[in-house]
Amino acid sequence: MKLVRFGPMGKEKPGLVDPEGKIRDLSEIVPDIAGEALSNKGLAKIAKADWQKLPVASGRPRIGACVGGVGNFIAVGLNYADHAAETGAAIPTEPILFNKAPSCIVGPDDDVMLPKGSVKTDWEVELAIVIGERARYVSKQDALSVVAGFCICNDVSERAYQIERGGQWMKGKGCETFGPLGPWLVTVDEVADVQKLGMWLDVNGERMQTGSTKTMIFDVRTIVSYVSEFMVLEPGDVITTGTPPGVGLGMKPPKFLKAGDTMTVGIEGLGVQTQNVIAWK
């Protein structure tokens, strides 16, 4: 299934993308694409519904973040061998984890706002994991059983905040609008091999990132299992899993976003995002 949330910011309704590409309103089936609706039981309830009888969303509604009520927004750093190489970083021996603020989450086509005074805001196409079942110390073998599905995340990053201002990376990762998610949450059963997905990102129509989840250092199963050693994962938690090469920081000279730029972000089978970059306001 392709699950979606649509409508004005803060008032999104749950939806299903039908085989014709239309959004069907799931409000009579589940209250939101969040929490219990993401559990195996909740997803089975949605799958059981006759989509042809669900009302079609009218017009061209705004698409919100594909998961609501996110409690924990976890990210993995330097998780692609080719990205580590472009930044000159050593290959990690264990996953590097940091937090993105849930308050930075926006819809896939919402504006990305540069932080006040920022001159080093960067782009990162990433595969995000959405948790569906409570998980603690889950094994690699069982890791996918606690996953509801996958979506695109643009892990927007302010590099000066992240690297030059001391402390943890989260300073440059959780700024307002720095977490576009969606357009859809694609359930696990619809993704044939999550470790063989092509991914890309353009800025103003110019290809910046081209990669594949096959070059992940730590795969999806490993990441879910590993994170569950350090915290209890709850339905609706999101783990974004790292980026392939082509970020602005790795270019010579470095290249960063400015107001008026447009990012287009895609992952095979998971849809496309488009964000306009605006100045702080």
Mean per-residue pLDDT pooled into runs of 10, the chain (281 residues): 97 97 97 97 97 94 98 95 78 94 98 96 98 98 98 97 86 96 98 98 98 96 98 98 95 96 98 98 90
Query: Looking at the structure, do residues 110 and 243 belong to the same domain, yes or no?
Result: yes
Phi and psi angles of residue 23, each rounded to the nearest 5 degrees, phi first: -90, 125
Stretch (H or E) spanning 48: helix 40-48
The count of domains in the chain is: 2
Quote the pTM value: 0.97
Query: Looking at the structure, do residues 42 and 146 belong to the same domain, yes or no?
Result: no
Query: Looking at the structure, do residues 27 and 114 belong to the same domain, yes or no?
Result: no
Confirm whether 222 is domain-assigned: yes
Confirm whether 204 is domain-assigned: yes
Query: Looking at the structure, do residues 147 and 83 belong to the same domain, yes or no?
Result: yes
Confirm whether 58 is domain-assigned: no
pLDDT of residue 40: 97
pLDDT of residue 87: 74
Query: Looking at the structure, do residues 137 and 27 belong to the same domain, yes or no?
Result: no
pLDDT of residue 2: 98
Number of residues that this document lists for the chain: 281
Confirm whether 79 is domain-assigned: yes
Tell me how far apart the alpha carbons of residues 7 and 58 are, in angstroms, rounded to a whole number.
10
Query: Looking at the structure, do residues 81 and 16 belong to the same domain, yes or no?
Result: no
Residue 30 sits in which domain range? 2-53
Confirm whether 62 is domain-assigned: no
Distances (CA, A) of 24 to 7, 51, 100, 187, 218: 12, 7, 31, 16, 36
Q: What would the pLDDT profile of 184-215 be if each residue is shown by its tens digit? A: 999 999 999 999 999 999 999 999 999 999 99
pLDDT of residue 147: 98
Residues 6+ apart with CB under 8 A from 12: 5, 6, 32, 64, 65, 68
Query: Looking at the structure, do residues 251 and 126 belong to the same domain, yes or no?
Result: yes
- Structural contact between residues 197 and 128, judged by C-beta atoms closer than 8 angstroms: no
- The CATH number of whichever domain residue 153 belongs to comes to 3.90.850.10
Query: Looking at the structure, do residues 24 and 143 belong to the same domain, yes or no?
Result: no
Q: What is the mean pLDDT of the chain?
A: 96
Query: Looking at the structure, do residues 155 and 265 belong to the same domain, yes or no?
Result: yes
Query: Looking at the structure, do residues 42 and 77 belong to the same domain, yes or no?
Result: no
pLDDT of residue 168: 84
Query: Looking at the structure, do residues 140 and 14 belong to the same domain, yes or no?
Result: no
Query: Looking at the structure, do residues 145 and 252 belong to the same domain, yes or no?
Result: yes
Q: What would the pLDDT profile of 153-165 be if each residue is shown by its tens digit? A: 999 999 999 988 8
